[in-house]
Amino acid sequence: MNKPRFTVVIPAHNEEKYIGKCLRAVISASEYVRPDTVEMIVVANRCTDKTVSIAKHYGARVLINDEKCIAAIRNTGVRSSNGEIVVTVDADSLMTKHSLAEIREKLESGKYIGGGTVPMFDRMSVGIAVSSLYVAINLLPVMTKNGGFVSGAMFWFYKRDFEAVNGFDAALISLEDMDFALRLKKYGKRKGKKYGTLKHSYVLTSSRKFDEFGDWYLIKERKLTKRIFTGKDRQAADSFYYDVR
């Protein structure tokens, strides 16, 4: 393998149902760049299932981080990456086939510091649609902080810029992704670059939280949802993310 141009970092906690699909999507997207320059890193977090063996089967490098902190988990993967361009995607999400090519095009244009993409659920219902709108409304003040808009779902950036903004903030229990995006955007502005959103690519993400809790769960548990949005509520994050299964 030549020196990786891309590293795709995937945090994973007991993801045997999804990790193979996620990695196959990365492999498919790599066909539109140079497959031999795409590195895949799976950061296994407290896995007790077949996640690690499946990840290795698909050629991913597996790292271990057992902290209950998604920011620290992401940082472990990015800081161990060999690629110049880093992409982070969740284990239950699938990048579309032109994602890496579009990311390369945007970064090589010199106009973008990095960015995110648009997520789409693998199924939709009235409850999911209303819940998504509720989440968007609550996150809007964060996503539009300091003017403009920051997208999330799948983040892409040069590793050197990740290091320049000190990565994801491990002091945050949740919303570490939006915090990172805002700091990356601010750093890019100083460099005369924009924070971008992929236009032709997206991520297809599982609706498993709705499958587990119900399509209206976020509406019924509005207090819990708002506690998660503070980014610092350990109990809320544990009940929704870390101690679900």
pLDDT confidence tier of residue 236, bands split at 50, 70 and 90: low
Q: Is 190 helix (H, G, I), strand (E, B) or coil?
A: helix
Asked, for residue 232, whether it belongs to a domain, the answer is no
Give 1's pLDDT tier (boundaries 50, 70, 90). Answer: low
CATH of the domain at 155: 3.90.550.10
Q: pLDDT tens for residues 111-146?
A: 999 999 999 999 999 999 999 898 888 877 766 765
Residue 243 resides in a domain = no
Residue 226 falls inside a structural domain: no
Residue 22 has pLDDT above 80, yes or no: yes
With respect to residue 20, please indicate whether it lies within any of the assigned structural domains: yes
**CA distance readout (Å), 93 to 33, 51, 86, 188:** 20, 15, 16, 27
> Out of 14-18, 51-55, 236-240, which region has the weakest mean confidence (pLDDT)?
236-240
Q: Looking at the predicted structure, is the pLDDT value of residue 87 above 90?
A: yes
Domain assignment of residue 63, yes or no: yes
The number of domains in the chain is 1
String of DSSP letters for 56-104:
HHTT-EEEE---S-HHHHHHHHHHT---SEEEEE-TTEEE-TTHHHHHH
Q: Is residue 131 part of a domain?
A: no
pLDDT (tens digit per residue) in 158-171: 999 999 999 999 99
Q: Edge-to-edge, what's the strand order for the sheet holding 93-95?
A: 61-64, 38-44, 6-12, 85-89, 152-158, 112-121, 194-205, 93-95
Containing structural domain, residue 162: 6-119+149-202
Type of residue at 78: V
Asked if residue 141 is part of any domain, the answer here is no
Q: Note the pLDDT of residue 241.
A: 67
Q: Is residue 209 part of a domain?
A: no
